[in-house]
Structure 1
Amino acid sequence: MSFDYFSKNGELLPVQEAAIPLSNIEYQYGFGVYESIRVVNKTPYFLKQHLERLQESARFIELEHPFSAQSVANAISNLIEKNTVETCNLKILLIGGKTKDEAALYILCLNPLFPDKKLYRDGAHCITYAYERLFPHAKTLNMLGSYLAYRKAREVGAYDTLLINRSKEITEGTRTNFYCIKGKTVISPPAADVLPGVTQLVLKKVLEENEYAFTERSIPATEIETYDGAFLTSTSSKVLPIRTIDSTTFPSISPELRALMSFFDEYVEKSRGTL
């Protein structure tokens, strides 16, 4: 599916005009933040939470801009209507400028990319890579390290790369949040070390409603095999089970993880993208 329009600073323009000047030094240096939002039946899922994170990411790197959460929401609504789109992914780019008023907001509709269904049945393969993001709490355009890590995954046919910090602990994926599971307890790396995922907010709600426990603690890469399983979450993947991490293979996807995947899908369907 192709989309004819994009939004720049709230103005709808032909997608052929979507360009960032080569002279934009802020973009070259990665001085910007972004969000990806899933749209289903013209509804941007968990819009409030995504826009809150966009604003928080901008504040974290001291990117001043004139765009309120409401103005971004209005621009999204207008773009969806103009493109007569039912289902897509939205990419929001907020790029800084020399002054507050020179900041620019781009919103594009993209074809949704979802994991192969067999990954939900059999589990995904992941590898590890030593890298720590500069600002883990901000979803910034400074993505070189994550790009290189993800490229390593593609080279060996893996779904994603799990990042390892200097303490040899797994923190997150290049585009996903990472968890382990033991019985009905879900373990997440400490919040201080990772991007606060919007999907994680949904996950916590699902865990609470279905009597699962949630805890945060460091997850050394050498201790992965002590857990019943592991999984990833993201806007596109929802809850995606992991079958192997490097040379460690989980014997199967645990019944508790299988149930959690179903509970999560049911909640998203029922909630229609609201918390």
Structure 2
Amino acid sequence: MERCLNNYYLFNENIEPAEKFKSPVGGRQIYEVIRIIDSVPLFLEDHMERLIKSLELEDLNSKYTVNVISDSIVKLIEANNSVQGNIKLILNFHENKEDLYIFYIPHSYPKEIMYSQGVSTILYHGERNNPNAKVINSSFRDNVNKKLEETNTYEAILVDKQGRITEGSRSNIFFVKGKKLVTSPIEAVLPGITRQHIIALCLKHNIEAEEIYVKEEDIQSYDAAFISGTSPKVLPIKKVNSIIFNSSLNIIVKEIMKHYDNSIEEYINNYKLNKNISN
């Protein structure tokens, strides 16, 4: 069941009081989670592009245009007078009907010590049916969450049937060897917005990056690792099962963290500038 935070949510373009919220049940659900920083929906255009891609991959057509959804997100932020948080957008297709939900959800951002020391992760043998599409799969999420709780770890790193690392259960994963960054091929993962920006930043700042599979048995041959995502941003890994990394001290990881934070600041400034011009 979904939880709705703050005073209002949006249902089919209408602002509604949060106490009326009912979690979407059944149907086929395509979703996005967008981080709000300083009242700005971060990388909104990229999220909308991925939403369209997910719909295409699932052979679904939405009656809601990108402009309508984007405007609805802004309307919800303004209605709640909200500066920070995560919002979830769900397109629910059921019984020849389509419903649009946009609402604030509980979020958990890493503490500063997690960035300075890194987080513990586990390997989890499992894979998504269609990794490129952002589709709600409650049973998969529940199973992973149970394992994370049992092991008191931050994230589960998925391993496919061929013994290859693909992605995190709610993030993408990168490994570092020397001055080179390695991450799984795009066809094997959910194309994370943060992942996309990291690869672009590597190109911009002359950091070598390659999309190749990392085998489970080869993890310990790498110097560092980190996960990326909407909430964690760029988060160093200190442990994968029993394998120890000093990722938070790795020069490449630190450089990427700095460049990514700068890109967030740049996006927010440009978004506000463009909004002021349009007003």
The reply on whether 1:16 has 2:40 as its aligned counterpart is no
User: Which of 115, 119, 123 pairs up with 1:120?
Assistant: 115
> Once the two structures are superposed, what CA deviation does each residue of 1:117-176 show, in whole Å capped at 9, x if it has no partner?
111111110001110101101010124223312321221111000011001111011100
Residue equivalent to 1:110: 105
Whole-angstrom CA distance in 2 between matches of 1:42 and 1:248: 39
Whole-angstrom CA distance in 2 between matches of 1:63 and 1:274: 33
The reply on whether 1:250 has 2:245 as its aligned counterpart is yes
> Once the two structures are superposed, what CA deviation does each residue of 1:19-73 show, in whole Å capped at 9, x if it has no partner?
147xx541xxxx1111110111211010011011112112211223211111101
Residue equivalent to 1:141: 136
Contact 1:189 1:219 in 2 (8 A): yes
RMSD: 1.9
Q: Which runs of 5+ in 2 are unaligned?
A: 272-279
| More divergent stretch after superposition (3-12 vs 256-265) | 256-265
User: Which of 41, 46, 49 pairs up with 1:44?
Assistant: 41
> Once the two structures are superposed, what CA deviation does each residue of 1:189-214 show, in whole Å capped at 9, x if it has no partner?
11111000111121122212221011
Contact 2:12 2:99 in 1 (8 A): yes
Shift of 1:273: 7.7
Residue equivalent to 1:267: 263
The reply on whether 1:129 has 2:114 as its aligned counterpart is no
Q: Where do 4+ consecutive residues of structure 1 move more than 6 Å?
A: none
Matches within 5 A, 1:1-275: 3-20=6-23, 24-26=25-27, 31-99=28-96, 102-251=97-246, 253-272=249-268
3-state SS in 1 of match to 2:127: coil
Contact 1:162 1:171 in 2 (8 A): yes
Whole-angstrom CA distance in 2 between matches of 1:242 and 1:154: 18
Residue equivalent to 2:275: none
Contact 1:46 1:274 in 2 (8 A): no
- Counterpart residue identity of residue 35, structure 2: R
Contact 1:43 1:273 in 2 (8 A): no
3-state SS in 2 of match to 1:236: coil
Query: How many residue pairs align between the two structures?
Result: 267
What TM-score results when the alignment is normalised by the length of structure 1? 0.92
Q: Which runs of 5+ in 1 are unaligned?
A: none
What TM-score results when the alignment is normalised by the length of structure 2? 0.90
Whole-angstrom CA distance in 1 between matches of 2:19 and 2:214: 46
1:146–1:168 CA distance, 2 compared to 1 (3 A): farther
> Once the two structures are superposed, what CA deviation does each residue of 1:96-115 show, in whole Å capped at 9, x if it has no partner?
1232xx11110002354201
| More divergent stretch after superposition (251-260 vs 164-173) | 251-260
Whole-angstrom CA distance in 2 between matches of 1:231 and 1:81: 34
Shift of 1:251: 4.4
Whole-angstrom CA distance in 1 between matches of 2:210 and 2:236: 18
1:32–1:257 CA distance, 2 compared to 1 (3 A): same
Contact 1:126 1:161 in 2 (8 A): yes
Whole-angstrom CA distance in 2 between matches of 1:183 and 1:210: 16
1:2–1:108 CA distance, 2 compared to 1 (3 A): closer
